[in-house]
Amino acid sequence: MEEQTIIIGAGPCGLSCALELQKADINPLIIEKGNIVETIYRFPTHQTFFSTSFNIEIGDIPFVSEKSKPVRNEALAYYREVAKRNSLRIRPFEKAIDVKIVNNHLIELTTVKNNRECYYKAKNIVIATGYYDQPKFLQIRGENLPKVMHYFKEAHEYYDTDVVVIGGRNSAVDAALELQKVGARVTVLYRADSYSKSIKPWILPQFDSFVQKGDIQMEFHANVTEITEENVFYEVKGKQKKIKNDFVFAMTGYEPDIPFLKRIGLNIDSTTGKPIINEQTYETNIPNIYVAGVVVSGYNGNETFIENGRFHGKQIATSIINKGQENNLS
């Protein structure tokens, strides 16, 4: 069966794009390797958003939360309701593995679901795959040990243990605070010389207070060089150090699946990791293949959030609609 448009990724930006297409009587198919808003599901259990609920609404559907800044569970419930109310066509737990041009007017998508390959044909493909499932690895020995994790969910398991948190942005600070709260002995290693300016302003004073009191150990200028079963080795201004630990949270950021984008033929800026696009339509160098959401930002995931990525869908939908009208006239 030939689809008019297939969206790869059921995050907020992919869902927003689907809603914009529905307004034009286009009912897209969404392929998602997890389930809807998988990224938000993988956030820490008690995560509070930086944005207000109003700023992460999609499809003109109000997001009402108890406080101005919603928490993870409220967001999950909201996006589920959006998908349900609009009868969005979503195929969850299906991973896109290849996209290729069949002819000038048709694109073939290959996916895997339950270890079986599936094939789709579409006139348009929108890639809204996000980046949260692609950790930035440290590329050091021991990073693949079972005790090393790139995601933080809940702290209880780490009561009365020695934990090293690598990184100094919001995810690292949030994890450190939660771990300290349950009685873990926490050390934060951050390669910069001071606190990140991206840390939520209502969180930094609390975090710094714990550091000043010695409840959380903080080392700046710390470059981790090796992880073993018992220690983390690191360097501070040329001085070699090590710290004993039971667990490591390497909260070093995430990046888009650039190998996938390159494999299907998209032109990628080698410095920024950004796909080369028409900034008015988000169409890539391959006609009728679009990108949406944080994948647009390449290595700098701080450029695109739900707040601005949710508007990509309107521009993409406008482009697809206009192309359809042109084809009908020709």
Q: What is the rounded average pLDDT for all residues in the chain?
A: 93
Q: Which residues constitute the domain of residue 82?
A: 2-133+254-329
Q: What is the mean pLDDT of residues 3-9?
A: 95
Residue 183 has pLDDT above 80, yes or no: yes
Q: Within a domain: residue 285?
A: yes
CB atoms within 10 A of CB 254: 19
Spatial separation of the C-alpha atoms in residues 67 and 115, rounded to whole Å: 43
CATH of residue 285's domain is 3.50.50.60
Q: Within a domain: residue 277?
A: yes
Residue 328 has pLDDT above 70, yes or no: no
Q: Assess whether 119 and 15 both reside in one domain.
A: yes
Q: Assess whether 124 and 258 both reside in one domain.
A: yes
pLDDT at 313: 92
Domain boundary among 250, 268, 295: 250
**C-alpha angle 14/17/272, rounded to 5°?**
60
Q: Assess whether 39 and 105 both reside in one domain.
A: yes
Domain boundary among 250, 285, 313: 250
Q: How confident is the model at residue 133 (pLDDT cuts 50, 70, 90)?
A: confident
Q: Within a domain: residue 143?
A: no
Strand, helix or coil for residue 54: helix
Query: Regarding beta strands 222-227 and 231-236, do their DSSP bridges make them parallel or antiparallel, or are they unpaired?
Result: antiparallel
- pTM of this prediction? 0.89
pLDDT at 47: 87
Number of separate domains in the chain: 2
> Percent of the chain having pLDDT more than 70?
98
Residue 79 has pLDDT above 70, yes or no: yes
Residue 317 has pLDDT above 80, yes or no: yes
Q: Assess whether 128 and 262 both reside in one domain.
A: yes
Q: Assess whether 35 and 106 both reside in one domain.
A: yes
Cα 195 from chain centroid (whole Å): 23
Spatial separation of the C-alpha atoms in residues 69 and 51, rounded to whole Å: 6
Q: Which two tokens stand for residue 96?
A: 């896109």
Residue 329 has pLDDT above 70, yes or no: no
What would the pLDDT profile of 134-149 be if each residue is shown by its tens digit? 888 999 999 999 999 9
Domain boundary among 190, 221, 250: 250
What residues have CB less than 8 Å from 197, skipping those under 6 apart? none
Q: What is the mean pLDDT of residues 209-222?
A: 97
Spatial separation of the C-alpha atoms in residues 164 and 179, rounded to whole Å: 10
What would the pLDDT profile of 103-117 be if each residue is shown by its tens digit? 877 899 999 999 999
pLDDT, greater one: 325 or 182: 182
Length of the chain measured in residues:
330
pLDDT at 326: 56
H-helix or E-strand containing 289?
A: strand 289-291
Spatial separation of the C-alpha atoms in residues 56 and 50, rounded to whole Å: 10
Query: Regarding beta strands 231-236 and 239-244, do their DSSP bridges make them parallel or antiparallel, or are they unpaired?
Result: antiparallel
Q: Assess whether 14 and 114 both reside in one domain.
A: yes
Q: Assess whether 72 and 51 both reside in one domain.
A: yes
Q: Within a domain: residue 138?
A: no
pLDDT at 2: 86
Q: Assess whether 31 and 81 both reside in one domain.
A: yes
Q: Assess whether 64 and 80 both reside in one domain.
A: yes
What would the pLDDT profile of 14-56 be if each residue is shown by its tens digit? 999 999 999 989 999 999 999 999 999 999 998 888 889 999 9
Q: Within a domain: residue 205?
A: yes
Q: Assess whether 194 and 276 both reside in one domain.
A: no
Q: Within a domain: residue 139?
A: no
Q: Within a domain: residue 94?
A: yes
Q: Assess whether 271 and 290 both reside in one domain.
A: yes
CB atoms within 10 A of CB 3: 19
What would the pLDDT profile of 223-265 be if each residue is shown by its tens digit? 999 999 999 999 999 999 999 999 999 999 888 889 999 999 9
Strand, helix or coil for residue 23: coil
Q: Assess whether 214 and 265 both reside in one domain.
A: no
Q: Within a domain: residue 244?
A: yes
